[in-house]
């Protein structure tokens, strides 16, 4: 099926939840570039987020409120005549979820059923709903990499919230025929992530300050890391292809399929920044996390003719540059 490209989005009314987050802010920027009419659901005003920092906030319609507010969601979808929904809003920090599971379940699980029920009430308007899940939805498996038919068996709070998100999305597809597809990505990274307890932004900021990066785990946890712009392009392509009804009710994995340990990733970042003399501090404090997670993306390649446009190193270089400009700390060495 031909990629419909920029003409698909021109003057299309699109709702983005989680617009101040890492993926959401880059998604908004690309949708604006493609001439879409973007409506953003924003709970908290985050002045240093990419959405505000870049001035994108002045080019979108803002609906202030939370996913837990069902009536607000119905109003936003109806009044702005939304045709495409990107449900990216969630509490995404594993440690936060472990400390406060209730707020995570409220945002991630209740927020998902609220939004999908609101879409059902406005079903004459809605043409595509792309729900952002995660590789964490699969839970812990000995048979890796994860494929889309791998059972969803989250155990820890964040993982459970994403398993539930998927099941709720599929329930609305099978029961009410809502046009829903689910995406499961590896660990997203890119400029604009201000959660510096995460590995990549934390490591880059430490290196810019000539400070040793902090590793919460033992450094041996293995993940699939995925550049945010590749995720944006994958989501947009999937939404376009959902004009073919075969894509509704399906899940798709997106990632680089090149799993790395935490130590390998930190070493790669320090090498790109010419900061190899900085020795990571290994705290070995991580708990309630799965040791090895990575994805098989053959389904997206087969169904969508999809592949990442960035190598891991290219994505990291752009990310390093973003944080250098954002922090005002000039780069040195190889990443310039």
Following CA atoms 311, 288, 144, 132 in sequence, which dihedral angle do they give, to the nearest 10 degrees? -60
Rounded distance between C-alpha atoms, residue 169 and residue 115, angstroms = 10
**Torsion region of 329: left, alpha or beta (phi above 0 gives left; psi -120 to 50 gives alpha):** beta
Rounded distance between C-alpha atoms, residue 112 and residue 109, angstroms = 5
CA-to-CA separations, 284 to 94, 139, 281, 292, 323, in angstroms, rounded:
16, 21, 9, 16, 26
Element (H, E) at 260: strand 260-261
Which residue among the candidates 146, 158, 235, 310 is catalytic per the annotation? 158
CB 206 within 8 Å of CB 248: no
Rounded distance between C-alpha atoms, residue 42 and residue 25, angstroms = 11
> Is 158 tagged catalytic?
yes
153 SS3 class: strand
Indicate the burial class of 102 (C-beta count within 10 angstroms; 0-12, 13-18, 19 or more): exposed
Q: Residue 171: CB partners within 8 Å, gap ≥ 6?
A: none
10 is written with which tokens?
A: 């021109």
End-to-end CA distance of the chain: 39
70 SS3 class: helix
CB 111 within 8 Å of CB 133: no
121 is written with which tokens?
A: 């009430």
65 is written with which tokens?
A: 């409120």
Residue among 211, 109, 119 nearest 154 (CA): 109
Which residues are the active-site residues?
158
């Amino acid at each position: 099926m031909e990629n419909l490209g920029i003409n698909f989005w021109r003057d299309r009314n699109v709702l983005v939840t989680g617009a101040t987050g890492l993926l959401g802010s880059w998604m908004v920027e690309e949708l604006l570039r493609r001439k879409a009419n973007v409506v953003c659901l924003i709970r908290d005003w985050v002045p240093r987020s990419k959405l505000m920092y870049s001035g994108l906030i002045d080019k979108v319609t803002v609906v202030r409120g939370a996913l837990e507010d069902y009536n607000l969601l119905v109003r936003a979808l109806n009044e702005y005549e939304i045709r495409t929904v990107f449900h990216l809003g969630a509490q995404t920090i594993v440690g936060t979820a472990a400390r406060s599971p209730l707020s995570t379940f409220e945002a991630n699980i209740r927020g998902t059923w609220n939004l999908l029920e609101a879409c059902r009430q406005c079903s004459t308007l809605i043409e595509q709903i792309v729900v952002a899940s995660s590789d964490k939805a699969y839970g812990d498996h000995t048979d890796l990499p994860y494929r889309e038919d791998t059972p969803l068996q989250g155990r820890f709070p964040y993982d459970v919230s994403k398993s539930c998100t998927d099941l709720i999305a599929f329930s609305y597809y099978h029961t009410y025929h809502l046009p829903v597809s689910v995406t499961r990505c590896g660990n997203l990274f890119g400029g604009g992530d201000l959660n510096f307890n995460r590995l990549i932004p934390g490591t880059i900021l430490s290196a810019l300050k000539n400070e040793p990066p902090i590793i919460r785990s033992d450094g041996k946890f293995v993940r699939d890391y995925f550049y945010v712009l590749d995720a944006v392009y994958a989501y947009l392509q999937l939404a376009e292809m959902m004009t073919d009804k075969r894509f509704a009710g399906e899940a798709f994995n997106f990632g680089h399929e090149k799993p790395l340990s935490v130590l390998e990733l930190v070493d790669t970042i320090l090498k790109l920044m010419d900061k190899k003399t900085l020795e990571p501090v290994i705290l070995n404090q991580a708990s309630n996390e799965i040791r090895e997670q990575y994805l098989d993306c053959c389904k997206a390649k087969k169904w969508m003719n999809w592949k990442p446009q960035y190598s891991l190193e290219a994505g990291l270089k752009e990310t390093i540059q973003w944080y250098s400009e954002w922090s005002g700390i000039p780069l040195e060495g190889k990443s310039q």
